[in-house]
Structure 1
């Protein structure tokens, strides 16, 4: 173990990873309990990797004299509860969450300077990439994951010569078809929100707290709104948005999870949605797309703010490590 003290960013990223990985372990425990053999192997592999990451972070904190976070424990999962999600949703969830982990842990790599911590984030980012690949391949083999549309390969290089290329907001002008960058970003957003919508449906029907239930229903409706409004851009270019018959919530009313963990999971995905929307707006060259994504981001931000207040109200928001308040020295 390095004798170099950890920085504020390394502490923050390790703390956030502890929260996320303990959550993943609890969710995986329910999925593993009900999974078929083939899916169980994938889920167990991700569970084992998460447990190993938690063990490493715990060792770092103990060595640095830092308190171990609470995160999510066995009290946040109700073992023996009926299956909350149906055919292959567990692998859709794994595919979605490892996409998020790839982004987060790659970012944390660039924010870590101590050799052992940097290597830790490199390793778990690689693990997330591998697991995402395996989950996607499994869904493709089962015929339930919809690929983005195939296109003809370009034969010539072209440069944009007309300002109309960036058009889209003027209803009296013809709008060009989407380019492949725009299609890829929209497809990703629609695909993610379809999985997220089913998660909200399942969570909402088993939530014990009425305010939490109402909030999760809002999340379900917001996911549907995003899927419909972004899907319309694809339809206007004669492209069908992704959809699948698999990965739905069951009708169970018995919760396998605490309201606390369901709210945290929702908040994590909401934050990821904000980042994805910002990325989509930044790389879209048709000006109606950033405009639409900005409006949706406002809705997502409001939803996130409401969720944060609800978690604080119920005492579910664990406080991140705090910088010392130097202002106290002047009083």
Structure 2
């Protein structure tokens, strides 16, 4: 059993305080803090519903820790916004987005896997935001939040391992010696004899497979409970896309005699009663769209085999098109909250033209 997470084990958030009279929030800080506020409220709504249904005590402790940390961060952000005369974002509110009386949608183990994915996404978000922050209080807040998320992620992985559901990346043989690339044939795929996959390529293929596995389960559950037809069809289309991406990545691993990660199809409980609003479900999928697009982009920039690069390129293009269509649905229903913008942009554009 993993260590119990208590409120006392969490460090207090650093006080919001400018380091100089003229040090306002930069555009990067405005953007990242706004995005963070929406992301925290989104996860808080999902986790609050999970807490109503989860039975496993270890998983419950992790969910409770996530909620406590989220509330502390929202409190810090609200105080910061008040001090800056910045309107507090609307985000996602539990009384608007969650039906706590809805039946269970996912099993406890799938809830744990979804929490792992949400925390993984936030780690990426915090690590990006912290290197773009210039104000000391913002940097300290983001650094502390990142440290807490990494700690939570490690605890989640420990629980997943103890329950036998952690998808460990494939093992490959250790190199016997250090080698250097001596020929352009290292980057050939279709021409000449194809070399084995490198550990870097295996890790990126596995990452794509793992991300699509959790997305597939979300699409299945959300498609079952979506109330609006366009949202339901969007989820069904996402299910088809994720299944196709899983097949592509699985075939790559199988061809190289490597194992594939587990499926979460059995973690979905049959229910037609929506626990979440259509807006929240679109927001949750939108977040994974962005993360998957980023994952494919990183993979495309680092893999050496041309055919792998082509795979990631076309999957990234398909993900981008799917994400764009989702944004159009969200805008069509008036659900998309505007981020902070440059003041007087329309006036500037008119002067330029």
Fold in common (TM above 0.5): yes
Deviates more, 1:297-306 or 1:2-11: 2-11
Please say if 1:263 is aligned against 2:282.
yes
2:119 aligned to which of 83, 98, 116? 98
| Cα separation, 1, equivalents of 2:33 and 2:282 | 21
The question of whether the paired residues in 2 share the 8 Å contact of 1:146 and 1:244 is answered with: no
Question: CA-to-partner distance for each residue in 1:140-180, whole Å, 9 max, x for gaps?
Answer: 1101122112222222110112322212234xx43221111
The question of whether the paired residues in 2 share the 8 Å contact of 1:144 and 1:244 is answered with: no
User: Using a 3 Å threshold, how does the CA distance of structure 1 residues 131 and 229 change in structure 2: closer, same or farther?
Assistant: same
| Cα separation, 1, equivalents of 2:344 and 2:41 | 29
Please say if 1:55 is aligned against 2:85.
no
Equivalent residue pairs, number = 329
| Cα separation, 1, equivalents of 2:41 and 2:279 | 13
Counterpart of 1:126?
Answer: 147
Shift of 1:246: 7.5
Counterpart of 2:331?
Answer: 312
| Cα separation, 2, equivalents of 1:234 and 1:313 | 40
1:1-331 correspondence runs (5 A) = 1-2=17-18, 3=21, 4-36=23-55, 37-74=57-94, 75-170=96-191, 173-244=192-263, 248-328=267-347
The question of whether the paired residues in 1 share the 8 Å contact of 2:216 and 2:242 is answered with: yes
Shift of 1:326: 4.5
Other structure's SS at 2:243 match: helix
| Cα separation, 2, equivalents of 1:46 and 1:247 | 25
User: Using a 3 Å threshold, how does the CA distance of structure 1 residues 248 and 260 change in structure 2: closer, same or farther?
Assistant: same
| Cα separation, 2, equivalents of 1:93 and 1:45 | 15
Moved over 3 A (4+): 244-247
User: Using a 3 Å threshold, how does the CA distance of structure 1 residues 268 and 166 change in structure 2: closer, same or farther?
Assistant: same
The question of whether the paired residues in 1 share the 8 Å contact of 2:59 and 2:108 is answered with: no
Question: CA-to-partner distance for each residue in 1:174-218, whole Å, 9 max, x for gaps?
Answer: 322111111111111101110111011101110000000000111
TM-score normalised per structure 2: 0.90
Deviates more, 1:211-220 or 1:245-254: 245-254
The question of whether the paired residues in 2 share the 8 Å contact of 1:195 and 1:247 is answered with: no
Shift of 1:220: 1.0
User: Using a 3 Å threshold, how does the CA distance of structure 1 residues 247 and 93 change in structure 2: closer, same or farther?
Assistant: farther
> Structure 1: 5+ residue runs without aligned partners?
none
| Cα separation, 2, equivalents of 1:300 and 1:244 | 21
TM-score normalised per structure 1: 0.96
The question of whether the paired residues in 1 share the 8 Å contact of 2:110 and 2:267 is answered with: yes
> Structure 2: 5+ residue runs without aligned partners?
1-16
Other structure's SS at 1:65 match: coil
| Cα separation, 1, equivalents of 2:139 and 2:258 | 42
The question of whether the paired residues in 1 share the 8 Å contact of 2:106 and 2:267 is answered with: yes
| Cα separation, 1, equivalents of 2:265 and 2:330 | 31
The question of whether the paired residues in 1 share the 8 Å contact of 2:99 and 2:276 is answered with: yes
| Cα separation, 2, equivalents of 1:141 and 1:54 | 32
| Cα separation, 2, equivalents of 1:225 and 1:189 | 12
Shift of 1:244: 4.2
Question: CA-to-partner distance for each residue in 1:10-61, whole Å, 9 max, x for gaps?
Answer: 1111110000000000000111111122211000101111111111111111
